[in-house]
Amino acid sequence: MPPKSGISRVMSTHSTLLLVLDLVGTFAFALNGAMTAVRFVRLDIVGVVTLGMFTALGGGMIRDILLDALPPATFLDWRYLAVALAGGLLAFVLSRGLEKLSMPIIVLDAVGLSVFAVLGTFKALDLNFGVVQAIMVGTISAVGGGTIRDVMIQQVPTVLRSELYAIPALIAAGCAAATYSFGHHGTVAALSAASLCFVVRMVGVRFDLHAPRPWGSDRSG
């Protein structure tokens, strides 16, 4: 029996709140991408909305392609496109007040990172992927949108720098896989794993923590 397509079908055994969480993550990434465009590269409305939508939808599309859940959920459920578009437009409309706000960009990115790591892992396990493979899918889907965003604005992707970025996603994906193996893959499990990812990411930001670098490398970059 071929795997079901679309996240709303794959997650039919879960509560509707898990779909809501996926949309929340999409919206958070859309705002993050659009706010990045406003604050750092000063694009026009087309550029702002486009960057927001690529940031919001890129990770989910990569996830669905890896899982062979085609067409991707983005093209099966209009709500993903609508939420991503709304996030991009909101950031553009409020751009005058957002230009000076750097921390909300980081917070929204952490929210999207957390949600996508958990739900990507759950979706892979729903499709009978192995635990290690599911954790990889969850991590890739979490960092995918931010990586696309950084490449589009010609920056070294955050995931390749020394910041704690991929590590929180890995932790969340691992926790999600662990709870799933014990039969807990509903809203509480998802929120718990996502919260852990969010906390680790924000602690790293607050205390300027970094992943290990090679000995002797410049730590100022």
Residues 127/3, Cβ–Cβ less than 8 Å:
yes
Q: Which two tokens mark 55?
A: 């940031």
Shortest CA distance to 132 belongs to which of 191, 190, 177, 81? 177
Residues 131/181, Cβ–Cβ less than 8 Å:
yes
Q: Mark out the alpha helices in 13-102 (DSSP H runs).
A: 16-36, 45-66, 73-76, 78-93, 95-98
Q: Which two tokens mark 19?
A: 């779909």
Shortest CA distance to 63 belongs to which of 150, 128, 135, 151? 135
User: How far is 119 from 124, CA to CA, in rounded Å?
Assistant: 9
Q: How far apart are the first and last CA of the chain?
A: 50
Tens digit of pLDDT per residue, the chain (221 long)? 444 444 444 444 456 777 788 888 899 899 989 988 888 777 889 999 999 999 999 999 999 999 998 999 889 989 999 999 999 999 898 877 666 667 887 888 899 999 999 999 999 999 999 999 999 999 999 999 999 999 999 998 988 886 789 999 999 999 999 999 998 877 888 889 999 999 999 999 999 888 887 776 655 44
